[in-house]
Amino acid sequence: MEERKILVTRSSMPSYEDYIDAIKPLWDTHWLTNMGVYHQQLEKELKEYLKVQELSLMVNGHMALELAIQAFGFPKDSEVITTPFTFISTTHAIVRNGLKPVFCDIKSSDGTIDETKIEDLITEYTVAIVPVHVYGHVCNVDEIQRIADKYNLKVIYDAAHAFGVEYEGNGIGTYGDASVFSFHATKVFNTIEGGAVTFKEHSIYDKLYNLKNFGIRGEEVVTEVGANAKMNEFCAIMGLCNLKNIDKSIDDRAKSLRLYKDRLSKIEGIRIFEENQNVKSNYAYFPVLITDDYKSSRNDLYNKLRKCGIYSRKYFYPLTSDQACFKNKYRDTSLPCAREMAEQVLCLPLYEGLAENDIDYITSLF
């Protein structure tokens, strides 16, 4: 049998010629990193595209999240309410800041944090909420803000999946105290590796500039325990090139998603998430839920697809709270919906340029 292999994602790239042309000036200036002109240009263009007031570029999404949390200076061992139904980075960023994750359950409607269960988890030690716009599905930002205001908590969104998403016409990065995006090669928009923090107050820009550059304030002055999280110029140029094509790229994903939905929606036991009418989506992922009414188990389907060269992924199984590094270390909370979704979910291949006959083939295996 012919070997065909379809991975869950494939990086969008500019043409070879466009990228080579764009990086040529670097051989004149020899300025490769440390907030160069392309770094500045990409910050400017991303602020416009994402419709946010302030944005700080970072070396990757994870460091963006770590430094965004660090920027607020929470006391050590404080509690942060978050979701376990996410990529491990979200929980790592909290713990690596010396804070304690408190895992809140999610909603079966869209996989985001269940805002009705947040208040019960708040204690005198709670300082922040770190929700995730998982799959680009928008959290209940209004209710989360109401709770945060009532208890004087910060809200830092993990918006790694939500590049270009808008809610009621607003850039998703305008909600909460800060939002964090990932520009990893596998995400909707990529800079090879990269990320950004978006926020409203300019004072946070200075703070993050400092934190991503070793805490250095002047040639002989270091004021903070910073990291090195600067994006280099090659990555910034990749971002500028990819940004030119982003709308077309998202449209192409939308087209694939419609084909998938058309072919899978009538299959018994396959649940597809509904689109939120107030949201402009980025079609970042195509998660489906393999419920008990389907003819086989999620894992059997995963294995069958894999045998046929289709590399779907169980995003997000296991829950981060169940991983060896976190299990039984933090407050034990009830997570029935998160557990169920982790057992049922399968993300199918979705990327710019996915062929219609590949979608036909994948869906024929269900």
Position among 118, 160, 241, 354 found at the interface with ligand PLP (CB under 6 A) = 160
In angstroms, what is the minimal distance from the CB of 48 to ligand PLP? 21
CB nearer ligand PLP, residue 129 or residue 359: 129
User: What are phi and psi for residue 326, nearest 5 degrees?
Assistant: -120, -20
Q: Which CB atom, from 195 or from 239, has the smaller least distance to ligand PLP? A: 195
Q: How far is the CB of 153 from ligand PLP (least distance, A)?
A: 20
Residue 179 touches ligand PLP, criterion: CB under 6 A: no
Angle at the Cα of 283 (from 277 to 286), degrees rounded to 5?
Answer: 105
User: With contact defined as beta carbons under 8 Å apart, do 58 and 207 qualify?
Assistant: no
Is 158 among the residues that bind ligand PLP (CB under 6 A)? yes
Instruction: Supply the DSSP symbol for 15.
Output: -
Which residue's structure tokens are 């595209």? 49
> Rg of the chain over CA atoms, in angstroms?
21
Q: Residue 128: beta bridge partners?
A: 80, 154
Q: Counting contacts by CB under 6 A, is residue 112 touching ligand PLP?
A: no
Which residue of 56, 70, 83, 89 would you call a contact of ligand PLP, by CB under 6 A? 89
Q: Are 280 and 273 in contact (CB under 8 A)?
A: no
Residue 154: both structure tokens together: 């910060």
Residue nearest to ligand PLP (CB): 61
Site string (248-287) toward ligand PLP, x via CB under 6 A = ----------------------------------------
Interaction mask 124-143, ligand PLP, x per CB under 6 A: --------x-----------
CA 286 – CA 348 distance, rounded (Å): 6
114 or 158: CB nearest ligand PLP: 158
Closest distance of CB 115 from ligand PLP, Å: 18
Helix (H) or strand (E) holding 261: helix 246-264
Nearest distance, CB of residue 284 and ligand PLP, angstroms = 9
Residues 181-210 interacting with ligand PLP (rule: CB under 6 A): 182, 184, 195
Under rule CB under 6 A, residue 60 binds ligand PLP:
yes
- Interface with ligand PLP includes 82 (CB under 6 A)? no
Nearer to ligand PLP, 29 or 228 (CB): 228
Given the complex with ligand PLP, which of 133 and 154 has the nearer CB atom? 133
CA distances for 279 relative to 51, 138, 250, angstroms: 14, 7, 14
Q: Where are the beta strands (DSSP E) in 83-237?
A: 100-103, 126-130, 154-158, 166-167, 170-171, 178-182, 195-199, 216-218, 221-222
What is the Cα–Cα distance from 346 to 135, expressed in whole angstroms? 12
CA proximity to 133, closest of 168, 164, 158, 151: 158
Beta strand ranges found along the chain (DSSP E) = 54-58, 79-82, 100-103, 126-130, 154-158, 166-167, 170-171, 178-182, 195-199, 216-218, 221-222, 270-272, 279-280, 286-290, 345-348
- Only one of the segments 54-62, 165-173, 319-327, 337-345 lies at the binding site for ligand PLP (rule: CB under 6 A); that segment is 54-62
Residue in 36, 61, 136, 226 binding ligand PLP, rule: CB under 6 A = 61
State which residue, 184 or 298, has the beta carbon closest to ligand PLP. Answer: 184
Spatial CA neighbour of 7 closest among 350, 272, 253, 249: 350
Minimal distance, residue 185 CB to ligand PLP, in Å: 9
83 binds ligand PLP (CB under 6 A): no
Shortest Å distance, C-beta 164 to ligand PLP = 15
Q: Provide the binding-site residues for ligand PLP, judged by CB under 6 A.
A: 60-62, 86-87, 89-90, 132, 158, 160-161, 182, 184, 195
